[in-house]
Amino acid sequence: MRSRRLGATLRRYREAARLDQAQAGEYIAGSKAKISRIESGESSARPGDVRLLLELYGVEDAAVRSGLEQLARDSNKRGWWLDQPWSLTPEYADLIAMESDASYIRSWQPVMVPGLLQIPEYTRLLLDSGLVAYSDAEADDILATRQARKRVIDVDGTQLAAIIWEPALTSPMPDVEAHRAQLRHLRDAAGRQNISLQVLPMDEWQAARACQHFVMFSFGPEPAAEAVSLDTLSSSVILEGPEDLARYARAFEALRSAALTPTQTLSFLDHALKNIATG
């Protein structure tokens, strides 16, 4: 995933500079084939090659240059998620890798609480009610990985903006205590500086159905969208094309405009908790 991100970015800069792969290969004393492998993510680029290519492409922003060189250093770095006791699908591993590298994460969730904001009891309810039957040991492994993923917001300070449709929070759950605990956790999380939480009201029907659940990632100092992850029943799809990214960025801003403000969301969560307590 890191190699693909780096390669796609280098390709965009090369094309913007109106240079072909042969010219880029010659500049780093390589070949057209080497540039092709780097841009496709098939091969990891060395930091020195990245530095030369960015020089050739006229990229002068120091933060961009430093970030891409660091990405080249990290391309073959082994992530903690690869040492889990259960086998992660390549798509799930890619998702965790993007979370680990992201500076900004934006999530729209019409059905459930976003994974990075779930408490273990809530995740267990989801696993128990899913289409796949897990053993206790398998469920424990999945829960451990889910909790480890939360390090990016709990320890690393990654910025998270999450929008959740109201029914995902107010619909009855099999375990009332887990329901209350999950809402309390969201209320506490919403008070943190690196987390923005907004609830989309029930009556914002049109906005809620504009698009399915997605997670959008930014990896640099600016919150520009660089990848979008979509879930299917059996896998995940990652979009990186400029048109797709622009489309989902617009969708997120439309959802954000239709949603309650973060302050209103805190009041909403307090009210929802009282309703559960007295219901």
Domain extents in the chain: 2-74, 80-278
pLDDT value for 83:
66
Fold of 2-74: 434 Repressor (Amino-terminal Domain) (1.10.260)
Question: Hey, what are 192's tokens?
Answer: 């943190």
Q: Which ranges of the chain have pLDDT less than 50?
A: none
Backbone φ/ψ region at 18: left (φ over 0), alpha (ψ -120 to 50), beta: left
CB count in 10 Å sphere of residue 15: 12
pLDDT value for 198:
98
CATH class for the region spanning 80-278: alpha beta
Dist CA 239 CA 236 (whole Å) = 10
On the question of a common fold for 2-74 and 80-278, the answer reads no
pLDDT value for 171:
92
Q: Encode pLDDT of 175-192 as tens digits.
A: 999 999 999 999 999 999
pLDDT value for 52:
93
Determine the longest span between alpha carbons in the chain, in angstroms: 72
